[in-house]
Each structure stands twice: as structure tokens, then as C-alpha cells.
Amino acid sequence: MNVSENLAEIQERIAKACEKSSRNPEEVNIIAVTKYVSVERAREAIQAGIRHLGENRVDGFLHKQEVIQEHVDWHFIGTLQSRKVKKVIDQLDYLHSLDRLSLAKEIEKRASKSVSCFVQVNVSGEESKHGMKPQEVENFIRDLKEYPSIQVIGLMTMAPYTDDENVLRGCFRTMRELRDQIREKNYSHAPCNYLSMGMSNDFEIAVEEGATHVRIGTSLVGKETV
């Protein structure tokens, strides 16, 4: 399947999920995750109408950005090591993986403009996943006030790899409640309106539960073996 056919199918599935949950599909941004694919394939996604690209590694991110001239928003979705902050922080439009104060500190030191961040939450409690524990998120975000370069625009999570719909739905719902809880505080440094959640195998449930940014790789652009 080519990217534009994949995109049409994904958009249709998002529209259905929105209908089921009385949401407006325009609230859902599709980020094409291009980490597995070539620049050519990423360009196909842009030609198909994609306006957001996501990469999870610094080198891949910088490479794609260097060769892709089209105007898109650039999302850094992977774990960011503090020592690599200076290489990418002024190049990205959105950071999805803010998960510790030491990273906030480094961003504050290196960024020359305001950085739109999602705080990454490990909602399933799996050892292998990055992100803060849900019960730590509120204090963490309160403390980010000390770092004026950081704007917390939302929360991000990776759900566990499972087909169990109840488990997935539970994770996404916890995220929405957490987001609402923080949004109610009306912090000027943390409007926290957005939810970055949902990947190829779970985006419909994520959308039903309130995702505003879905990060889709495999089922949109595919996976090329290198």
C-alpha cells in the first residue's frame, strides 16, 4: 500500500473513533513516525498531506531535517540524553519525552527559545518504559515553573504492548484524567491541553479516550528493513 492509501484508511478509522466518542476529528493530529523509513518515504507522507514528522533518535532526526525542505512540524519522540540536548533542542518544534528535572535543567541551559514539551508518563508501570510515575507528574510539572524555557503543552505515553483492549483503554483514560487534573490548575507554564498517545496498534482506543496527537509509524509509512 502506498502512504496516501494508508493515510486515508487511518483518517477514516480516526473519524469513526471520533464519532463514537463525540469528538471533532480536527482535534487529532497525525504524526508520521519515520524512524524506520527512508527520506523518500517520508516525502511521500508529506505529499499525501502529512504535516507532522516524528523521529526518536538524534541522528535520524537531524538527518531527515537536513534533507527535507518542505515545511512540517518536527516532533522528537524518543528518549533524549542530556548530553545530546544541545544538538537538537533549537531544531525541534515539539519534545514528547520530558521525563526528569535534569533534562529540564539542560534544556534551560541550551535552548534559545521556548520549547513546547509533553511530559512523558509511564502509565503502565512497566520497567522497560521511560517516563514518570503518574503520581509524580503533578509535583514535577509544578516544579517546572523554575525553567522558563519550558512550556508543558501536554502529556505523552506509550501504552504497553498488548491486544487487551481493557488494559489499553485504562491506560489512556488514566492519562486523560491526569491531564485534566493538571489543566485545572491553570499554570501559565503548563497549559497542558494535549495528549500524545496512540500508535499503530492502539490509536483508535487512544482517540476514543482523548488523544490529540497520535504517533503512527508502521501502519502509515511501513517499516523498511535496512
Ligand X SMILES: *Cc1c(COP(=O)(O)O)cnc(C)c1O
Helix or strand run (H / E) with residue 28 = none
Does 35 sit near ligand X (CB under 6 A)?
Answer: yes
33-44 per-residue burial string, b: 16 or more CB within 10 A, e: under 16:
bbbbbeeebbbb
C-alpha cell at 93: 518544534
Q: Which residue in 14, 42, 77, 119 binds ligand X (CB under 6 A)? A: 77
Q: Which is nearer to ligand X, 10 or 192 (CB)?
A: 10
Q: Which is nearer to ligand X, 69 or 226 (CB)?
A: 226
Does 218 sit near ligand X (CB under 6 A)?
Answer: yes
169-177 LR contacts (CB < 8 Å, sep 24+): 169/205, 169/208, 169/209, 171/123, 171/124, 172/197, 172/198, 172/205, 172/206, 172/208, 172/209, 172/210, 172/211, 173/209, 174/123, 174/134, 175/121, 175/123, 175/209, 175/210, 176/209, 176/210
Does 215 sit near ligand X (CB under 6 A)?
Answer: yes
Q: Which is nearer to ligand X, 35 or 179 (CB)?
A: 35
C-alpha cell at 190: 503548563
Binding part of the chain for ligand X, among 63-71, 99-107, 163-171, 210-218 by CB under 6 A, reads: 210-218
Does 82 sit near ligand X (CB under 6 A)?
Answer: no
Does 33 sit near ligand X (CB under 6 A)?
Answer: yes
Q: Which is nearer to ligand X, 36 or 187 (CB)?
A: 36
Does 200 sit near ligand X (CB under 6 A)?
Answer: yes
Q: How far is the CB of 61 from ligand X (least distance, A)?
A: 12
**Residues engaged in binding ligand X (CB under 6 A):** 33, 35, 56, 77-78, 158, 199-200, 215-218
